[in-house]
Homo-oligomer: A and B are copies of this chain.
């Protein structure tokens, strides 16, 4: 019915990390970070990397990334106020799409508490049609995220 459950990976599976501070509102009524919040960290980790690499200009860029698929597997709870390290890598680059994979680690933990991916299709900001090829600054930024 479902695909086989993937394993919790170690930090060495990710070439780049960003630190994320948790928030009071991340915890739900059961006292742990709600499953939805993990996806906001996926977006945050990847877009922060792209912006800081000069590959994404939210306001002016001619190309924007639309999300067409997301997935997450959860292995262990996380909870405010602990900090979280988001490891990111690029698993696949197509003509106009990229599959980003993200692992979330409690600070000091070597096995991820959750892992998932999202697929961006890059489109022209005005027409919202997929680009013919990824912009060169994006391709350059992605190179450092390819699996070690």
Contacts and interface: CB of A to CB of B under 8 A. Distances in A.
A31 B47 contact: no
A21 interface: yes
A1 B117 CA distance: 12
Contacts of A25: 28, 34, 36, 40, 43-44
Interface of A: 1-3, 5, 19-25, 27-31, 34-36, 39-41, 43-44, 47-48, 51-52, 58-59, 64, 66-74, 80-81, 91-92, 99, 118-119
Given A1-B92, A19-B21, A25-B34, A71 B74 contact: no
A81 B58 CA distance: 11
Stoichiometry, as copies per complex, reads: 4
A36 B72 CA distance: 12
Contacts of A68: 5, 73-74
Contacts of A3: 3
B1 A91 contact: yes
Contact of A71 (B41, B59, B70): B70
